[in-house]
Protein backbone atom coordinates (compact mmCIF):
# COMPACT_ATOMS: atom_id res chain seq x y z
CA UNK A 1 0.00 0.00 0.00
CA UNK A 2 1.54 3.30 -1.12
CA UNK A 3 0.94 6.24 1.19
CA UNK A 4 2.43 9.67 0.55
CA UNK A 5 2.30 13.12 2.12
CA UNK A 6 0.83 13.37 5.59
CA UNK A 7 -0.53 9.80 5.53
CA UNK A 8 2.88 8.49 4.54
CA UNK A 9 4.49 10.43 7.39
CA UNK A 10 1.96 9.08 9.88
CA UNK A 11 2.70 5.55 8.69
CA UNK A 12 6.46 6.11 8.97
CA UNK A 13 6.21 7.42 12.55
CA UNK A 14 4.31 4.41 13.92
CA UNK A 15 6.46 2.50 16.41
CA UNK A 16 6.08 -1.29 16.77
CA UNK A 17 2.97 -1.98 18.83
CA UNK A 18 0.51 -4.72 19.69
CA UNK A 19 -2.62 -2.77 18.81
CA UNK A 20 -2.91 0.53 16.97
CA UNK A 21 -6.06 2.63 17.23
CA UNK A 22 -6.88 5.15 14.48
CA UNK A 23 -9.42 7.73 15.68
CA UNK A 24 -11.51 9.27 12.91
CA UNK A 25 -10.18 6.69 10.48
CA UNK A 26 -12.13 7.52 7.31
CA UNK A 27 -10.73 4.96 4.80
CA UNK A 28 -8.68 3.05 7.43
CA UNK A 29 -5.55 3.47 5.31
CA UNK A 30 -3.24 4.07 8.28
CA UNK A 31 -4.22 0.97 10.31
CA UNK A 32 -4.27 -1.12 7.13
CA UNK A 33 -0.72 -0.08 6.24
CA UNK A 34 0.46 -0.58 9.83
CA UNK A 35 -0.84 -4.14 9.97
CA UNK A 36 0.28 -5.09 6.46
CA UNK A 37 3.81 -3.82 7.12
CA UNK A 38 4.11 -5.49 10.52
CA UNK A 39 4.19 -2.26 12.51
CA UNK A 40 1.18 -3.43 14.54
CA UNK A 41 -0.14 -6.95 15.10
CA UNK A 42 -3.74 -5.77 15.06
CA UNK A 43 -5.66 -2.52 14.91
CA UNK A 44 -8.88 -0.69 15.70
CA UNK A 45 -10.37 1.90 13.36
CA UNK A 46 -13.05 4.17 14.80
CA UNK A 47 -15.20 6.97 13.47
CA UNK A 48 -18.13 9.01 14.71
CA UNK A 49 -20.12 8.46 11.48
CA UNK A 50 -21.19 5.27 9.66
CA UNK A 51 -20.13 6.57 6.22
CA UNK A 52 -16.38 6.57 6.88
CA UNK A 53 -16.62 3.13 8.46
CA UNK A 54 -18.29 1.84 5.30
CA UNK A 55 -15.32 3.16 3.32
CA UNK A 56 -12.99 1.60 5.87
CA UNK A 57 -14.74 -1.76 5.47
CA UNK A 58 -14.06 -1.64 1.74
CA UNK A 59 -10.37 -1.09 2.43
CA UNK A 60 -10.28 -4.09 4.76
CA UNK A 61 -12.03 -6.33 2.24
CA UNK A 62 -9.72 -5.18 -0.55
CA UNK A 63 -6.64 -6.16 1.45
CA UNK A 64 -8.19 -9.12 3.30
CA UNK A 65 -7.67 -7.57 6.72
CA UNK A 66 -11.11 -8.20 8.27
CA UNK A 67 -9.66 -10.57 10.86
CA UNK A 68 -6.93 -8.20 12.00
CA UNK A 69 -8.61 -4.77 12.04
CA UNK A 70 -11.84 -4.10 13.90
CA UNK A 71 -14.15 -1.21 13.02
CA UNK A 72 -16.05 0.58 15.79
CA UNK A 73 -18.55 3.42 15.74
CA UNK A 74 -18.35 6.21 18.29
CA UNK A 75 -16.82 9.57 19.20
CA UNK A 76 -13.18 10.01 20.15
CA UNK A 77 -11.74 7.30 22.37
CA UNK A 78 -15.16 6.19 23.62
CA UNK A 79 -15.17 2.95 21.55
CA UNK A 80 -11.72 1.95 22.90
CA UNK A 81 -11.29 -0.01 26.13
CA UNK A 82 -8.73 1.16 28.73
CA UNK A 83 -5.35 -0.40 28.02
CA UNK A 84 -6.57 -1.97 24.78
CA UNK A 85 -4.24 -0.05 22.43
CA UNK A 86 -0.60 0.82 23.02
CA UNK A 87 -0.44 3.07 19.94
CA UNK A 88 -2.94 5.75 18.88
CA UNK A 89 -3.37 7.99 15.84
CA UNK A 90 -5.50 11.14 16.08
CA UNK A 91 -5.11 12.96 12.77
CA UNK A 92 -6.84 15.13 10.21
CA UNK A 93 -8.75 17.38 12.62
CA UNK A 94 -8.25 20.66 14.45
CA UNK A 95 -5.94 20.95 17.44
CA UNK A 96 -8.79 21.91 19.77
CA UNK A 97 -10.71 18.79 18.79
CA UNK A 98 -7.60 16.69 19.43
CA UNK A 99 -7.27 18.25 22.88
CA UNK A 100 -10.94 17.53 23.54
CA UNK A 101 -10.53 13.87 22.57
CA UNK A 102 -7.50 13.51 24.84
CA UNK A 103 -9.38 15.21 27.67
CA UNK A 104 -12.52 13.08 27.36
CA UNK A 105 -10.48 9.87 26.99
CA UNK A 106 -7.80 10.88 29.47
CA UNK A 107 -7.36 7.48 31.14
CA UNK A 108 -7.04 5.64 27.83
CA UNK A 109 -4.73 8.17 26.18
CA UNK A 110 -2.39 8.34 29.15
CA UNK A 111 -1.85 4.57 29.04
CA UNK A 112 -0.69 4.51 25.41
CA UNK A 113 3.02 4.06 24.72
CA UNK A 114 2.78 6.61 21.92
CA UNK A 115 0.24 8.84 20.20
CA UNK A 116 0.59 10.39 16.76
CA UNK A 117 -1.16 13.75 16.58
CA UNK A 118 -1.67 15.60 13.29
CA UNK A 119 -3.53 18.91 13.77
CA UNK A 120 -4.93 20.60 10.66
CA UNK A 121 -5.37 24.05 12.22
CA UNK A 122 -4.93 25.97 15.50
CA UNK A 123 -1.64 24.10 15.86
CA UNK A 124 -0.29 26.72 18.26
CA UNK A 125 -2.89 25.58 20.83
CA UNK A 126 -1.70 21.97 20.92
CA UNK A 127 1.79 22.18 22.41
CA UNK A 128 0.78 24.36 25.39
CA UNK A 129 -2.06 21.93 26.13
CA UNK A 130 0.34 18.98 25.98
CA UNK A 131 2.75 20.68 28.40
CA UNK A 132 0.00 21.55 30.83
CA UNK A 133 -1.39 18.03 30.80
CA UNK A 134 1.81 16.04 31.31
CA UNK A 135 2.62 14.92 27.76
CA UNK A 136 6.14 14.64 26.36
CA UNK A 137 6.83 15.50 22.73
CA UNK A 138 9.16 12.74 21.54
CA UNK A 139 9.40 13.57 17.87
CA UNK A 140 7.86 15.96 15.35
CA UNK A 141 8.20 16.05 11.58
CA UNK A 142 6.73 17.67 8.49
CA UNK A 143 5.21 16.32 5.29
CA UNK A 144 4.42 18.09 2.04
CA UNK A 145 1.39 17.67 -0.20
CA UNK A 146 1.55 20.02 -3.16
CA UNK A 147 2.01 23.50 -1.74
CA UNK A 148 0.80 22.57 1.75
CA UNK A 149 2.83 21.45 4.74
CA UNK A 150 1.54 19.24 7.56
CA UNK A 151 3.04 18.39 10.93
CA UNK A 152 2.90 15.18 12.95
CA UNK A 153 3.87 14.94 16.61
CA UNK A 154 4.69 11.72 18.42
CA UNK A 155 3.90 12.09 22.11
CA UNK A 156 3.24 10.08 25.23
CA UNK A 157 2.13 10.91 28.73
CA UNK A 158 4.75 11.08 31.45
CA UNK A 159 3.13 8.15 33.24
CA UNK A 160 2.97 5.87 30.16
CA UNK A 161 5.53 3.16 29.41
CA UNK A 162 8.28 4.26 27.02
CA UNK A 163 8.93 2.46 23.76
CA UNK A 164 12.44 1.01 23.46
CA UNK A 165 13.03 2.48 20.00
CA UNK A 166 11.96 5.88 21.20
CA UNK A 167 15.41 7.14 22.20
CA UNK A 168 17.09 5.96 19.00
CA UNK A 169 14.52 7.69 16.82
CA UNK A 170 14.76 10.96 18.73
CA UNK A 171 15.38 13.68 16.11
CA UNK A 172 16.56 16.80 17.83
CA UNK A 173 13.91 17.43 20.47
CA UNK A 174 15.11 17.85 24.06
CA UNK A 175 15.12 14.72 26.18
CA UNK A 176 12.24 16.26 28.07
CA UNK A 177 10.40 18.84 25.99
CA UNK A 178 8.57 20.08 29.07
CA UNK A 179 11.62 20.87 31.16
CA UNK A 180 13.43 23.11 28.70
CA UNK A 181 16.60 21.02 29.15
CA UNK A 182 18.31 20.44 25.82
CA UNK A 183 20.00 17.11 25.20
CA UNK A 184 23.78 17.42 24.90
CA UNK A 185 23.93 15.13 21.86
CA UNK A 186 21.88 17.39 19.58
CA UNK A 187 24.49 19.23 17.45
CA UNK A 188 22.07 21.62 15.77
CA UNK A 189 21.12 23.19 19.10
CA UNK A 190 24.68 24.49 19.46
CA UNK A 191 24.57 25.73 15.87
CA UNK A 192 21.56 27.91 16.70
CA UNK A 193 22.81 28.92 20.15
CA UNK A 194 22.17 32.58 20.86
CA UNK A 195 20.20 33.02 17.65
CA UNK A 196 16.95 31.30 18.60
CA UNK A 197 15.12 30.86 21.93
CA UNK A 198 16.45 27.99 24.05
CA UNK A 199 13.17 27.39 25.88
CA UNK A 200 10.92 24.82 24.11
CA UNK A 201 7.92 26.60 25.67
CA UNK A 202 8.67 29.85 23.81
CA UNK A 203 5.68 31.07 21.74
CA UNK A 204 7.79 30.61 18.58
CA UNK A 205 7.95 26.86 19.16
CA UNK A 206 4.28 26.61 20.07
CA UNK A 207 3.75 27.56 16.42
CA UNK A 208 6.53 25.85 14.50
CA UNK A 209 7.80 23.15 16.87
CA UNK A 210 11.14 22.98 18.71
CA UNK A 211 12.13 19.66 17.19
CA UNK A 212 11.22 20.77 13.67
CA UNK A 213 13.55 23.78 13.95
CA UNK A 214 16.41 22.25 15.90
CA UNK A 215 16.64 18.94 14.05
CA UNK A 216 16.14 20.68 11.61
CA UNK A 217 13.41 19.26 9.40
CA UNK A 218 14.09 19.53 5.62
CA UNK A 219 10.84 21.47 5.23
CA UNK A 220 11.42 23.75 8.20
CA UNK A 221 12.09 26.92 6.19
CA UNK A 222 8.92 26.48 4.14
CA UNK A 223 6.96 25.71 7.30
CA UNK A 224 8.19 28.87 9.01
CA UNK A 225 7.39 30.81 5.83
CA UNK A 226 3.81 29.55 6.05
CA UNK A 227 3.58 30.82 9.62
CA UNK A 228 5.06 34.20 8.71
CA UNK A 229 2.40 34.73 6.03
CA UNK A 230 -0.31 33.72 8.52
CA UNK A 231 1.05 35.95 11.28
CA UNK A 232 1.30 38.95 8.95
CA UNK A 233 -2.40 38.59 8.17
CA UNK A 234 -3.14 38.43 11.89
CA UNK A 235 -1.13 41.59 12.61
CA UNK A 236 -2.78 43.46 9.76
CA UNK A 237 -6.22 42.35 10.92
CA UNK A 238 -5.56 43.47 14.49
CA UNK A 239 -4.43 46.88 13.29
CA UNK A 240 -7.51 47.33 11.10
CA UNK A 241 -9.78 46.36 13.97
CA UNK A 242 -8.05 48.87 16.24
CA UNK A 243 -7.32 46.29 18.91
CA UNK A 244 -5.48 47.28 22.05
CA UNK A 245 -1.82 48.21 21.89
CA UNK A 246 -0.73 45.18 23.95
CA UNK A 247 -2.47 42.69 21.67
CA UNK A 248 -0.95 44.23 18.55
CA UNK A 249 2.53 44.34 20.11
CA UNK A 250 2.28 40.69 21.14
CA UNK A 251 1.33 39.67 17.60
CA UNK A 252 4.12 41.80 16.13
CA UNK A 253 6.65 40.27 18.52
CA UNK A 254 5.72 36.76 17.39
CA UNK A 255 5.99 37.85 13.75
CA UNK A 256 9.46 39.22 14.42
CA UNK A 257 10.47 35.96 16.11
CA UNK A 258 9.23 33.94 13.13
CA UNK A 259 11.08 36.18 10.67
CA UNK A 260 14.27 35.86 12.72
CA UNK A 261 13.84 32.08 12.77
CA UNK A 262 13.58 31.98 8.99
CA UNK A 263 16.73 34.10 8.69
CA UNK A 264 18.60 31.61 10.89
CA UNK A 265 17.35 28.60 8.94
CA UNK A 266 18.27 30.11 5.58
CA UNK A 267 21.69 31.31 6.74
CA UNK A 268 20.94 35.02 6.76
CA UNK A 269 22.19 37.32 9.49
CA UNK A 270 19.40 37.38 12.12
CA UNK A 271 17.65 40.71 12.45
CA UNK A 272 18.47 42.71 15.56
Average the pLDDT over 128-148 and give the result: 96
- pLDDT at position 193 over 80: no
The per-residue pLDDT for 162 is 73
From the list 3, 14, 153, 98, the residue with the least C-alpha distance to 27 is 3
Each residue's pLDDT tens digit, 31-75: 999 999 999 999 999 999 999 999 999 999 999 999 999 999 999
The per-residue pLDDT for 271 is 52
Find the length of the chain. 272
75 class by beta-carbon count within 10 Å (0-12 exposed, 13-18 middle, 19+ buried): middle
- Grade residue 172 by pLDDT with cuts at 50, 70 and 90: very low
Average the pLDDT over 70-83 and give the result: 96
Q: Which residues pair with 143 in a beta bridge?
A: 150
Q: Are 60 and 32 in contact (CB under 8 A)?
A: yes
Query: pTM for this one?
Result: 0.88
* Secondary structure class of 57 (helix, strand, coil): helix
Average the pLDDT over 105-128 and give the result: 96
The per-residue pLDDT for 256 is 97
DSSP annotation string for 217-265: -TTHHHHHHHHHHHHHHHHHHHHHTT--HHHHHHHHHHHHHHHHHHHHH
The per-residue pLDDT for 243 is 75
- pLDDT at position 151 over 60: yes
The per-residue pLDDT for 47 is 96
The per-residue pLDDT for 165 is 52
62 class by beta-carbon count within 10 Å (0-12 exposed, 13-18 middle, 19+ buried): exposed
* Secondary structure class of 270 (helix, strand, coil): coil
The per-residue pLDDT for 191 is 58
Q: At what angle do helices 50-62 and 29-36 cross, to 10 degrees?
A: 30
Domain positions in the chain are: 5-166, 187-265
For domain 5-166, which CATH number applies: 3.40.50.150, 3.30.70.590, 1.20.140.10, 3.40.640.10? 3.40.50.150
Q: Are 227 and 208 in contact (CB under 8 A)?
A: yes
| 244: phi then psi, degrees, rounded to nearest 5 | -65, 155
- Grade residue 270 by pLDDT with cuts at 50, 70 and 90: low
Amino acid sequence: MKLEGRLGLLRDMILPCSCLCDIGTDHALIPAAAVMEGRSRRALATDIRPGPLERAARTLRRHRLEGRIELRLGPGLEPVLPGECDGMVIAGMGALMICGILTDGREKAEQASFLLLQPMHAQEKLRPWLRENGYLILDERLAREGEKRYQVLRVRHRSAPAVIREAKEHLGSPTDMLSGVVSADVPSVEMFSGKLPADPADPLYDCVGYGIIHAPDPLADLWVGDWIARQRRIVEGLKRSEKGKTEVETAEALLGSLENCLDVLTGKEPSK
